Amino acid sequence: MDVPNNRSSVSEFILLGLSTSQEIQIFFFAVFFLVYVAIIVGNLLIVISVIVDTHLHSPMYFFLANLSFFDLCLSSATTPKVIADLLRKCKTISLWGCMAQMFFMHFFGGGEMSLLIAMAIDRYVAICKPLQYQTIMNRRVLIGFLLLSWAIGSIHTTSQMVFTVGLPFCGPNVVDSIFCDLPLVIKLACTETYILELLVIANSGLLSLICFILLLISYIVMLVTIWQHSSSASSKAVSTLSAHITVVTLFFGPAIFIYVFPFKSYSVDKFLSVFYSIITPLLNPIIYTLRNQEMKAAIKRLSSQHIDSWLTS
């Protein structure tokens, strides 16, 4: 059958997923389902704890709660569809469903990237200018950083998707991934996409690399400051800072690898897609709760309050 040479000829994409084996897909379904539940519970627990516990009403926890919200949204943009597809033999997604998936992934990904920079600035002020911390990191500044994160996420995704939605898809429609990955979808267009591929690399890859380098430099400066001013608070500062550094590495590592070395190995792309959309949002709440005594204490207080209210009701 001849395929019409227009954009409407492709109304959906076929996702190849992780495996064609039914047994392996059932195993992945169980794993992904449990991990996604853990992501929802872990990140919501952090958000609720920061909101209701007055001990956590500080700039650092304000950013942490918003980071958890971004993680929750970033994972929810793809994971529910991935879990549902693991129970289906034919894994398809509509053209506009694919576009929406890519839009929200880059929206929340770009927002989280800028939020991590804001968190680094917060830690820099707390460590290097402790006497001026409350004055500098006031409520207006916090709201400004948060709005800037949303704005950067919007600009980041719009600058790529505005060109992608106009591409003609008139032939191949098979995406060798678990969800719609922007570089892979662009390759399916029935037109020359070299310039657009360079735009994606420049927009996502180089931006991630530059931000990572700037964050790395800022954290090195903070560590040097801590070592030069040895005090009883140094161990707590190092513990908090190490958690931030771990989260930054986990977030930027996969992003840099995917976009600086694109279209090389689809098996690597699949692994990094799983890591970036599922594993990282799970690790962030684990890292912050296990390494932060105040957060663990707040979660215990929240849990005990709910248990007490349930017993007295």
pLDDT tens digits for 209-252?
Answer: 778 888 888 888 888 887 776 555 556 666 677 777 888 877 77
* CATH number of the structural domain 12-292: 1.20.1070.10
* Cα dist from 115 to 38, 64, 129, 188, whole Å: 22, 9, 20, 33
For the chain, percent of residues with pLDDT exceeding 70: 85
pLDDT-based confidence at residue 1 (cuts at 50, 70, 90): very low
pLDDT at residue 309 above 70?
no
pLDDT at residue 199 above 60?
yes
**Mean pLDDT of the region 144-160:** 93
Task: List, as one string, the DSSP characters of 264-298.
Answer: S-HHHHHHHHHIIIIIHHHHHHHHHHHS-HHHHHH
How many alpha carbons lie under 13 Å from residue 121 in its C-beta half-sphere?
A: 17
**Mean pLDDT of the region 75-81:** 93
pLDDT at residue 155 above 80?
yes
Beta partners for residue 92, in sequence order? 14
pLDDT at residue 106 above 60?
yes
Q: How many angstroms separate the CA atoms of 167 and 144, rounded?
A: 35
Nearest to 278 by CA among 46, 27, 116, 39: 39
User: What local confidence, expressed as pLDDT, does residue 264 receive?
Assistant: 52
List of residues 6+ apart from 33 with CB closer than 8 A: 83
User: What local confidence, expressed as pLDDT, does residue 210 receive?
Assistant: 77
User: What local confidence, expressed as pLDDT, does residue 305 receive?
Assistant: 72
**Mean pLDDT of the region 70-78:** 93
For residues 237 and 49, the model is more confident at 49
Nearest to 217 by CA among 258, 259, 245: 245
Q: How many angstroms separate the CA atoms of 280 and 21, rounded?
A: 26
User: What local confidence, expressed as pLDDT, does residue 304 receive?
Assistant: 76
User: What local confidence, expressed as pLDDT, does residue 313 receive?
Assistant: 59
pLDDT-based confidence at residue 126 (cuts at 50, 70, 90): confident
List of residues 6+ apart from 46 with CB closer than 8 A: 64, 65, 68, 285, 288, 289, 295
CB 173 within 8 Å of CB 185: no
For residues 38 and 4, the model is more confident at 38
For residues 162 and 214, the model is more confident at 162
> What is the dihedral sign for C-alpha 307, 311, 312, 313?
positive
List of residues 6+ apart from 83 with CB closer than 8 A: 29, 32, 33, 36
Q: Where are the chain's structural domains?
A: 12-292
**Mean pLDDT of the region 92-105:** 93
pLDDT at residue 7 above 80?
no
